[in-house]
């Protein structure tokens, strides 16, 4: 069978989608009016808007503002159902998957499970540091920061030093945005809440093994983001350094330097949420190898889209960047091809058109790289806010986020600094 003809969707087929991120939701959105049965499986009961997790972590937004329950999204969608479950294994021969909620059959399986934090095999760092790939993890970072500040006034000088050092490892967009947000929290918000504390010794460190911040963006964006952080916002940026160990109290660098810190946030890389049952030959660097029609290599009825998919093209010989825009467009294209198959038409190959990248560092400080233009400053900042606001799913949530941003812009403050944890977690923090 010709692989380009293998996309054979029939009316009434059951399409199971694992993962309700940008890619999975786009696929459902474009397929929901077709004569197929769609089942979404996710271990969370809501879509998580990951680009704004750092604002949850820095107490700028509540998680409900950027989280969207799947069952609410699928109301009145008669051919779309949802299962809250974790997938254990795929059985391609019988076209079934095993979950903690039982066995599920499929005619076509779409894996859109996204990525998790990559600790590069360093189990000690994984055990003691914080990551930010889920809503729960973003809340955990917020709790850790606020609990540390609460303790600072009542501990010894030595322990206060460790509590006062926040170390962020990884100077990509996530690390840069988080460092900038914590810097603004330190300068404009915390002194109002804790007038008796001296925040001049509250240090924010951003580390990266490469020579630059925002290493995947333009030279202008790299230089400007570093200037914003180092010269204007008081963030200690260190590049060409690698974190080697962390025991919960001290982080050691490859230079031999030891940094006392109770808070290490790991944003240094991601790896795919790989599921058992797919051949190792179809996996490359933590991603499923797919063709231009999103089918996993060696399988006709199993597809992968979004961050989990490794698709080589002439424009992207090393695969596409793991960003939201790629995921959204792969979801749209797969839906388009499945719809074409239902109508007896041939599929068309995916081709990604890079519309640019951006990152925000702080108020009136952002960098934008478009194919035809690169700019920074207040205009870039407003541009970033507008595009992210438009990506948020519901009108209600758009309005809530806009009101929060507007209030913060005017007052340089928020009212969201709640420590939401249980007594056991507080004891663990201590």
14 and 150, same domain (yes or no): no
Q: Which residues of 18-41 are buried (b: 16+ CB within 10 A; e: fewer)?
A: bbbbbbbbbbbbbbbebebbbbbb
Residue 311 lies in a domain: yes
Least confident of 104-113, 184-193, 409-418: 409-418
Domain containing residue 387: 123-268+363-429
Mean pLDDT throughout 197-213? 94
Beta strands in 229-289 (DSSP E): 236-239, 243-246, 250-253, 258-260, 263-266, 270-272, 283-284, 287-289
Structure tokens at 316: 């992207």
Higher pLDDT, 394 or 178: 178
3 pLDDT more than 70: no
Beta bridge partners of 47: 68
Q: Count Cα neighbours of 256 within 13 Å in the Cβ-side half-sphere.
A: 0
Helix (H, G, I), strand (E, B) or coil at 294: coil
221 and 290, same domain (yes or no): no
Residue 347 lies in a domain: no
pLDDT score for 184: 95
CATH number at residue 243: 3.50.50.100
Rounded Cα gap, residues 374 and 358, in angstroms: 10
The 10s digit of each residue's pLDDT in 40-62 is 999 999 999 999 999 999 999 99
Rounded Cα gap, residues 178 and 416, in angstroms: 17
Residue 52 lies in a domain: no
- Judge residue 145's burial from the number of C-beta atoms within 10 Å of its C-beta, 0-12 exposed, 13-18 middle, 19 or more buried: buried
Residue 64 lies in a domain: no
Average pLDDT score over the chain: 93
327 Cβ contact partners less than 8 Å away, ≥ 6 residues apart = 21, 22, 23, 26, 112, 114, 305, 306, 307
382 and 330, same domain (yes or no): no
207 pLDDT more than 90: yes
Structure tokens at 389: 């606001």
Structure tokens at 50: 């990951």
Strands 14-18, 108-111: parallel, antiparallel or unpaired by DSSP? parallel
The 10s digit of each residue's pLDDT in 289-342 is 999 999 999 998 999 999 999 999 999 999 999 999 999 999 999 999 999 999
Say which DSSP state 179 is in: H
Percentage of the residues of the chain whose pLDDT score is greater than 70: 96
274 and 324, same domain (yes or no): yes
Find where tokens 């005619």 sit: 107
Beta strands in 129-229 (DSSP E): 165-169, 203-208
Residue 423 lies in a domain: yes
CATH number at residue 113: 3.50.50.60
In the chain, the number of structural domains is 2
428 — pLDDT class (breaks 50, 70, 90): low
199 and 281, same domain (yes or no): no
308 and 414, same domain (yes or no): no
The 10s digit of each residue's pLDDT in 106-128 is 999 999 999 999 999 999 999 99
174 and 275, same domain (yes or no): no
264 and 275, same domain (yes or no): no
Residue 358 lies in a domain: no
Rounded Cα gap, residues 238 and 36, in angstroms: 52
The 10s digit of each residue's pLDDT in 378-407 is 999 999 999 999 999 888 899 999 999 998
38 and 159, same domain (yes or no): no
324 and 370, same domain (yes or no): no
107 and 148, same domain (yes or no): no
Residue 75 lies in a domain: no
Beta strands in 216-332 (DSSP E): 236-239, 243-246, 250-253, 258-260, 263-266, 270-272, 283-284, 287-289, 302-304, 309-310
8 — pLDDT class (breaks 50, 70, 90): confident
Mean pLDDT throughout 264-284? 95
282 and 261, same domain (yes or no): no
Mean pLDDT throughout 255-274? 95
pTM of the model: 0.92
Mean pLDDT throughout 206-210? 97
The 10s digit of each residue's pLDDT in 166-176 is 999 999 999 99
6 pLDDT more than 70: no
Rounded Cα gap, residues 165 and 63, in angstroms: 25
């Amino acid at each position: 069978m010709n692989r380009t003809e293998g996309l054979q969707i029939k009316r009434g087929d059951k399409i199971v989608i694992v993962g309700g991120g940008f890619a999975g939701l786009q696929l459902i959105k474009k397929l929901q009016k077709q004569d197929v049965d769609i089942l979404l499986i996710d271990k969370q009961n809501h879509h998580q808007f990951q680009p704004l997790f750092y604002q949850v972590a820095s107490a700028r937004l509540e998680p409900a503002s950027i989280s969207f329950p799947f069952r609410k999204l699928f109301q009145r969608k008669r051919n779309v159902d949802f299962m809250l479950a974790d997938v254990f294994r795929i059985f391609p021969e019988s076209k079934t998957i095993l979950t903690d909620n039982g066995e599920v059959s499929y005619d076509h399986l779409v894996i859109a499970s996204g990525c998790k934090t990559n600790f590069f095999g360093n189990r000690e760092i994984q055990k003691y540091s914080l990551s930010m790939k889920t809503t729960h993890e973003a809340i955990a970072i917020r709790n850790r920061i606020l609990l540390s500040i609460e303790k600072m006034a009542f501990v010894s000088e030595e322990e206060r030093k460790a509590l006062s050092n926040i170390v962020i490892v990884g100077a990509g967009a996530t690390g840069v945005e988080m460092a900038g947000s914590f810097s603004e929290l330190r300068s404009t918000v915390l002194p109002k809440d804790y007038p008796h504390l001296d925040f001049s010794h509250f240090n924010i460190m951003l580390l990266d093994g490469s020579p630059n911040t925002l290493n995947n963006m333009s030279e202008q964006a790299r230089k400007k983001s570093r200037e914003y952080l180092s010269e204007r916002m008081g963030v200690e940026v260190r590049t060409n350094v690698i974190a080697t160990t962390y025991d919960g109290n001290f982080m050691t660098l490859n230079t031999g330097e030891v940094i006392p810190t109770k808070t290490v946030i790991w944003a240094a890389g991601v790896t795919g949420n790989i599921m058992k049952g797919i051949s190792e030959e179809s996996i490359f660097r933590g991603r499923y190898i797919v063709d231009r029609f999103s089918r996993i290599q060696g399988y006709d009825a199993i597809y992968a889209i979004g961050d989990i998919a490794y698709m080589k093209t002439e424009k992207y010989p090393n695969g596409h960047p793991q960003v939201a825009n790629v995921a959204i467009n792969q979801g749209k294209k797969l839906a388009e091809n499945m719809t074409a198959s239902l109508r007896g038409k041939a599929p068309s190959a995916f081709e990604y058109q890079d519309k640019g990248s951006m990152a925000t560092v702080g108020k009136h400080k952002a960098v934008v790289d478009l194919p035809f233009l690169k700019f920074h400053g207040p205009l870039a900042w407003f541009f970033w806010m507008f595009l992210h606001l438009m990506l948020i799913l519901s009108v209600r949530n758009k309005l809530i986020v806009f009101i929060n941003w507007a209030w913060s812009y005017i007052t340089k403050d928020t009212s969201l600094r709640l420590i939401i944890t249980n007594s056991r977690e507080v004891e663990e923090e201590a």
